[in-house]
């Protein structure tokens, strides 16, 4: 088998979303698994809707996911001369012909066919007119009138298409621009693409493209059509299901390794394994393990996988990832050692980088803001003598989890109070909330000076009540 070469050909008419990202990932993994080549190509012949901002956005999303390309990016808008040459060749060999039917005539034919219960395809009016190129004329492929084209799909098996269901489709529009069907075949042929892995919404295009390869005297690539991604309710995935663009997931605090891991499991499996490193994906990815049925997007599972990768990422590395989120929240970025120590305490509880940044807030501000209900319930006059005692005792105790716990338990026994009756008010004084990482690790990270300062402030708050 010749060296594997795959491609990802997005249209720069929008941002990269989950479906496109999964297609890119499957093509990238297949190429990497076989030691082949991955090509990035922009199908930008739709000049009205194509935007440079989307080109930049798609590239940025692929790079963030770690899906770096080996060739490209190529742009169809820069290859028009190549398409013209192949169109001229098909016309001169009699495999394509020019059609002068106006849009109005075609619409009339379509209505008549529907009214008569026929398939509304082109009826071949200009097929034998031998028209030369001219203004307002389109170039159509001369599709065989009988027979079938069989797509030997690597996922679905053999799928047959009757030629009577395929009309003489357009290759070149009247303005001289190539259609999708034509440009994609010329691109894949001239770029040496060996495997086309794409969504199964393209399956109906494949017989047309195989017919084009045959007209050009070329061997088609191998095709693999991946089932679509559906929403949790079984309908086509959309924004209403909570699906975001890839860069929006990044900005929400998802990790690239988590999104890759989730995407690879959308329609592909390897036994019961759920968590995959990039190296494992490359080693194990095979088209025979792609499911034939549609995958369903589960935002909760994505969040759970992201939480796993947050915990699995070394904290110093994670600290760098969380810094932009601190800035976005208007929080100061502390020195690295303090950030790493604080992050260690929230890392087991956070599911995204944004959540981690929000949980870190009380470590980073000069004065915490008390939750009103928490302050009402826990910062009461009864706690004044307890806080005063703590301030005295904490001035000389070692700030380790063990020493702090011994101090609190001793004080609890001495005062005849349950430990939580002391711990929860102190938690509110130090963090402003009733929920936080373990109290003693919070105190250790904050350090003696911050803890004493916050307890003194809580005492002032209690005395003013």
| Angle, in degrees to the nearest 10, between helices 52-65 and 18-33 | 50
Q: Are residues 116 and 201 in the same domain?
A: yes
Q: pLDDT band at 183, cuts 50/70/90?
A: very high
Q: Are residues 187 and 204 in the same domain?
A: yes
Q: pLDDT band at 1, cuts 50/70/90?
A: low
Distance set, CA 312 to CA 95, 157, 316, 336, 436 (Å): 58, 39, 12, 19, 21
Q: Are residues 217 and 291 in the same domain?
A: no
CATH at 352 = 1.10.8.70
Q: Are residues 206 and 118 in the same domain?
A: yes
Confirm if 314 and 335 have CB atoms less than 8 A apart.
no
Q: Are residues 254 and 208 in the same domain?
A: no
CATH at 391 = 1.10.10.350
Q: Are residues 185 and 169 in the same domain?
A: yes
Q: Cα separation of 334 and 343, whole Å?
A: 11
Residue 303 lies in a domain: no
323 is catalytic: no
pLDDT of residue 465: 78
Residue 128 lies in a domain: yes
Q: Are residues 176 and 197 in the same domain?
A: yes
Q: Are residues 198 and 84 in the same domain?
A: yes
Last residue of a domain, one of 272, 298, 324: 298
Q: Are residues 153 and 246 in the same domain?
A: no
Q: Are residues 324 and 429 in the same domain?
A: no
pLDDT of residue 197: 98
Structural domain containing residue 380: 372-463
Q: pLDDT band at 233, cuts 50/70/90?
A: confident
Which string of b and e fits 415-438 if b means at least 16 CB within 10 Å? eeeeeeebbbbbbbbbbbbeebbe
Q: Are residues 84 and 220 in the same domain?
A: yes
Last residue of a domain, one of 246, 272, 298: 298
Residue 304 has pLDDT above 90, yes or no: yes
pLDDT, tens digit, 9 for 90 and up, residues 256-273: 999 999 999 999 999 999
- For range 346-357, the mean pLDDT: 97
Q: Cα separation of 83 and 335, whole Å?
A: 57
Residue 48 has pLDDT above 90, yes or no: no
Q: Cα separation of 225 and 271, whole Å?
A: 21
Residue 308 lies in a domain: no
Q: Which tokens hold the place of 179? A: 């259609």
Q: pLDDT band at 382, cuts 50/70/90?
A: very high
Residue 390 lies in a domain: yes
Cis, peptide link before residue 73, omega less than 30° from 0? yes
CATH at 63 = 3.40.50.620
Distance of CA 319 to the CA centre of its chain: 22
Backbone φ/ψ region at 418: left (φ over 0), alpha (ψ -120 to 50), beta: beta
Q: Are residues 132 and 236 in the same domain?
A: no
Number of domains, the chain:
4
Catalytic choice (129, 239, 418, 420): 239
């Amino acid at each position: 088998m010749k060296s594997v070469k795959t491609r990802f050909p997005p249209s720069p008419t929008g941002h990269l979303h989950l479906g496109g990202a999964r297609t890119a990932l499957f093509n990238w993994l297949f190429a990497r698994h076989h030691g082949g080549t991955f090509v990035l190509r922009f199908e930008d012949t739709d000049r009205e809707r194509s935007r440079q901002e989307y080109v930049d956005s798609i590239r940025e999303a692929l790079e963030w996911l770690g899906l770096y390309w080996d060739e490209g990016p190529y742009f169809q808008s820069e290859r028009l001369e190549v398409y013209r040459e192949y169109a001229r060749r098909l016309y001169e060999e009699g495999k394509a012909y020019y059609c002068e039917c106006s849009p109005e005539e075609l619409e009339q034919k379509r209505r008549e066919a529907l009214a008569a219960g026929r398939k509304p395809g082109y009826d071949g009016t200009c097929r034998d007119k031998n028209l030369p190129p001219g203004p307002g004329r389109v170039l159509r492929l001369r599709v065989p009138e009988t027979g079938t084209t069989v797509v030997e799909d690597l996922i679905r098996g053999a799928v047959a298409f009757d030629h009577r269901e395929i009309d003489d489709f357009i290759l070149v529009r009247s303005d001289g621009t190539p259609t999708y069907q034509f440009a994609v075949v010329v691109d894949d042929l001239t770029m040496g693409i060996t495997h086309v892995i794409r969504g199964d919404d393209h399956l109906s295009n494949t017989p047309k493209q195989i017919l084009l390869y045959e007209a050009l005297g070329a061997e088609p690539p191998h095709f693999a059509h991946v089932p679509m991604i559906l929403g949790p309710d079984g309908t086509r995935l959309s924004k209403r299901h909570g699906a975001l663009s890839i860069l929006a997931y990044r900005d929400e605090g998802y990790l690239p390794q988590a999104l890759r891991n989730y995407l690879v499991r959308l329609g592909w499996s390897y036994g019961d394994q759920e968590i995959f490193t990039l190296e494992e994906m490359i080693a194990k990815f095979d088209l025979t393990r792609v499911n034939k049925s549609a995958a369903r997007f589960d935002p909760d599972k994505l969040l759970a996988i992201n939480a796993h990768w947050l915990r699995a990422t070394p904290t110093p590395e994670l600290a760098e990832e969380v810094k932009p989120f601190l800035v976005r929240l208007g929080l100061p970025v502390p020195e690295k050692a303090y950030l790493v120590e604080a992050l260690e305490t929230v890392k087991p509880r956070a599911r995204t980088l944004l959540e981690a940044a929000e949980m870190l807030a009380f470590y980073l501000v000069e004065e915490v803001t008390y939750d009103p209900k928490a302050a009402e319930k826990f910062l009461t006059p009864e706690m004044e003598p307890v806080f005063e005692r703590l301030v005295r005792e904490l001035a000389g105790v070692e700030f380790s989890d063990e020493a702090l716990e011994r101090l609190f338990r001793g004080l609890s026994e001495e005062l005849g109070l349950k430990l939580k009756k002391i711990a929860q008010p102190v938690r509110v004084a130090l963090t402003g909330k009733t929920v936080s990482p373990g109290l003693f690790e919070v105190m250790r990270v904050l350090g003696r000076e911050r803890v004493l300062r916050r307890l003194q402030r809580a005492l002032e708050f209690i005395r003013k009540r």
